[in-house]
Copies of this chain bind each other. A is one copy, B any other.
């Protein structure tokens, strides 16, 4: 059944879906009402047709400029994140009232991703032109994320803007017995006064 195999391949091309899951999904589509296949097919294309990147911060939005960049009441702080999802995550904490800048990746010379690919000049322009008082770098605490954070902080040196990095350490509810050494080491280095 060629069409079934094609659907299995299509599902397999999605992240974290292996051959076995893809097969289960394809058979589910076969077994279930046509409306389910139609809704998914429709929504897939609708998303590609209606959502683009914010021309200012680079997050996904249905408008030219996202609702965060459009807001004039936010603090003059930019939080730099790797991807659009991270904006949603930080917004969901309710702790942050500033703006965002989405890099769309991290520096990774081996994969050919340098400062140009991340359009870091656009971040610099925003810091210069929008009277930004602080840049919070919220890339992930990975090798690439840390390198990117360091690079951005160097870039900002000449503008006198405060640059900070989100804390890295033990997650809430974590157990020291199961935590890796690097995280524990960071937890100690980044300790705060009580």
Q: List residues of chain A with CB under 8 Å of any chain B CB.
A: 1-4, 6-7, 9-11, 13-17, 21, 23-31, 34, 36-51, 60-62, 83-85
Contacts and interface: CB of A to CB of B under 8 A. Distances in A.
Identical chains in the assembly? 2
B44 A40 contact: yes
Contact of A14 (B13, B23, B28): B28
Contact of A37 (B3, B28, B45, B50): B45
A48 B71 CA distance: 45
Contact of A48 (B21, B29, B83): B29
Nearest to A62: B1
B24 A15 contact: yes
Contacts of A84: 27, 30
A37 B30 contact: no
B24 A16 contact: yes
A54 to B, nearest CB: 11
A108 to B, nearest CB: 16
Given A7-B43, A10-B36, 9 more contacts: A1-B62, A3-B49, A3-B51, A4-B47, A6-B47, A9-B43, A16-B21, A26-B47, A27-B60
Contacts of A41: 40-42, 44-45
B62 A30 contact: no
